[in-house]
Structure 1
Amino acid sequence: MDYDTINVERSADRVVVELDRPYARNAINAAMVNELHTVCGELEQEPRFLVIHGAGEDFAAGADIGELRVRGREEALTGINRALFDRINRLSLPTVAAIEGNALGGGAELAYACDIRIAGQGARFGNPEPGLGILAAAGACYRLSELVGKSVAKQVILGGGLLDADAAHRHGLVMDVVERGTALTAARALVDRMSKASPLALRLSKSVVDAAGPHPLLDDVAQAVLFESSDKRERMANFLERRRA
């Protein structure tokens, strides 16, 4: 289907989404939210890897301020952007954000919602929402603390600090920092590597990692399912044959 704010590339194992409002630094507006929901629905029906990146120089420099300015209490209570980002976070196979340039406000929260982030040199993360009189309410206040710890999250959200690519890597927010302009290439290579793993093992591993609190029984049940899979038996047989060769 045709989209107005994103470009979508599909293949057998992945969907690559480009946020395509470069004239607005890929600011996330209502139309983009709706179109990303459509992509989520597709991935819920047919699980594949998801890669998200931005057109032009930025990943996404925030939510659309023109739209935010006229939203009121009722819109806030529906969690427009938060509901989308939570849905992306719940997708069953890994999601990867390839970040170049600015990932600010809602753009940062979209990146936080992905499982793995890869940053080009020059990438910056920040949540300047309090300076606009609002809360970073689309996931930063709970997700960023989980990713980098409460102290660093407070420095970003309360102190207005920006994390450049190297700081983001140092605090564990990004997996790799690559040469400027190559984050998408690195994200594709990462998906190439992950796609060689068992899809069921990846799905169950993600569910177990994301589960709240200690969960040894959940780990055991997930492992029991995998132990009975034909994919596990075939992969281990191939491993032992290669070792004997």
Structure 2
Amino acid sequence: MSEATILSRRHGAVAQVVLNRPAKRNALDWPMLDGLVTTLRGFDVDPDIRAAVISGEPRAFAAGADIGALGEASAMELYRSGFSEQWDAVAAIETPIVAAVSGYCLGGGLELALICDIVVCERGAVFGLPEAAIGTLPGAGGTQRLVRAVGKSLAMEMILAGRRLDAEEACRFGLASTLVEAGAAEAEALALAGRIAERAPLAARFAKRAVLQSFETPLSAGIAFERALSALMAASEDRAEGMRAFAEKRTPRFTGR
């Protein structure tokens, strides 16, 4: 029996997905993406899970989509396959997601990291969208999300000319938020997810939705959306508990209600 390409682990209120196809440097194929989406959806409906981490292996977070599988498909097969829509399914996950990036983070792997809410990377990580070198272009949101992360000029250079960013550049240009030494990305991502898990879970999910809305709407509409979510939170038990705990100078006990 072949080894599972998606592994799931629990660390208290933090769940972890490990991309586990090391022989292919975690190249993303349909079964792997389907397993990833199914696992993340399971996290979303588990009230005990408050944050998630996606990690790979030391050589690669994910070195891209599986070229062999894609190269054999016709245009209509690709269009109807729903393959690229798997990234959309990850983007729809409400649980806050932290990416722990080591090694190669290229093509579809970078598109996956761009969907994650926070990116932790370690020295030696490499980021890029090399699709133009093999006669294609990013098809899972890379052209749209990368320009929002690093700006037009750098995104164009990465997509058109194949420029790759090292870990230090990724942090400097806003692609990642935290840089750690080699071998430490997973531990740092889990620690960061743990801090998220200590917050009120409803508030964290609503805040994630509000931040993501900023990419979809004008400023005035985004502020109105934020204000509506903030007002809705006033009806939650967690908000009342947070206020009481603050007044009583104690740690709040959030329940997600």
TM-score range, shorter chain: over 0.9
164, 167, 189: which one aligns with 2:166: 164
**What does residue 20 of structure 1 align with?**
20
Q: Contact 1:19/1:55 (CA < 8 Å) preserved in 2?
A: yes
Q: Counterpart of 1:36 in structure 2: which amino acid?
A: L
**What does residue 208 of structure 1 align with?**
210
Paired residues in the alignment total 242
Separation in structure 1 between the aligned mates of residue 235 and residue 45 of structure 2, nearest angstrom: 24
CA positional deviation for 1:11: 4.8
Q: Counterpart of 1:190 in structure 2: which amino acid?
A: L
Separation in structure 2 between the aligned mates of residue 208 and residue 157 of structure 1, nearest angstrom: 28
CA positional deviation for 1:220: 1.8
**What does residue 149 of structure 1 align with?**
151
CA positional deviation for 1:34: 1.8
Separation in structure 2 between the aligned mates of residue 165 and residue 78 of structure 1, nearest angstrom: 36
**What does residue 255 of structure 2 align with?**
none
**What does residue 198 of structure 1 align with?**
200
**What does residue 245 of structure 2 align with?**
238
**What does residue 228 of structure 1 align with?**
235
Separation in structure 2 between the aligned mates of residue 79 and residue 146 of structure 1, nearest angstrom: 27
Q: Counterpart of 2:170 in structure 1: which amino acid?
A: A
Separation in structure 1 between the aligned mates of residue 98 and residue 192 of structure 2, nearest angstrom: 9
Separation in structure 2 between the aligned mates of residue 3 and residue 31 of structure 1, nearest angstrom: 12
Question: Kindly, what percent of the aligned residue pairs are identical?
Answer: 38
CA positional deviation for 1:234: 1.5
TM-score by length of 1: 0.92
Q: Counterpart of 2:96 in structure 1: which amino acid?
A: P
CA positional deviation for 1:43: 2.8
**What does residue 97 of structure 1 align with?**
99
Q: Counterpart of 2:196 in structure 1: which amino acid?
A: M
> For structure 2, which runs of at least 5 residues remain unmatched after alignment?
251-257
Single out whichever of 37-46 and 227-236 deviates more from structure 2: 37-46
Q: Counterpart of 2:159 in structure 1: which amino acid?
A: I
Separation in structure 2 between the aligned mates of residue 84 and residue 182 of structure 1, nearest angstrom: 28
**What does residue 9 of structure 1 align with?**
9
66, 73, 76: which one aligns with 1:74: 76
Runs of 4+ in structure 1 deviating by more than 4 angstroms, as ranges, are none
Query: CA offsets, 1:21-45, max 9 Å, x none?
Result: 1111111112201211221331343
> For structure 1, which runs of at least 5 residues remain unmatched after alignment?
none
User: Equivalences for 1:1-150 in 2 at 5 Å?
Assistant: 4-46=4-46, 48=49, 49-78=51-80, 80-150=82-152
SS of 1:59's equivalent in the other structure is: strand
Query: CA offsets, 1:65-110, max 9 Å, x none?
Result: 1111101112331364431212112211211110001001111111
Q: Quick one: structure 1 residues 81 and 169, their matched pair in 2 at CA, closer, same or farther if it must change by over 3 Å?
A: farther
RMSD of the alignment, in Å?
1.8
Q: Contact 1:103/1:124 (CA < 8 Å) preserved in 2?
A: yes
Q: Contact 1:105/1:128 (CA < 8 Å) preserved in 2?
A: yes
Single out whichever of 218-227 and 116-125 deviates more from structure 2: 218-227
Q: Counterpart of 2:234 in structure 1: which amino acid?
A: F
SS of 1:15's equivalent in the other structure is: strand
SS of 2:249's equivalent in the other structure is: helix
TM-score by length of 2: 0.88
Q: Quick one: structure 1 residues 182 and 151, their matched pair in 2 at CA, closer, same or farther if it must change by over 3 Å?
A: same
Q: Counterpart of 1:131 in structure 2: which amino acid?
A: A
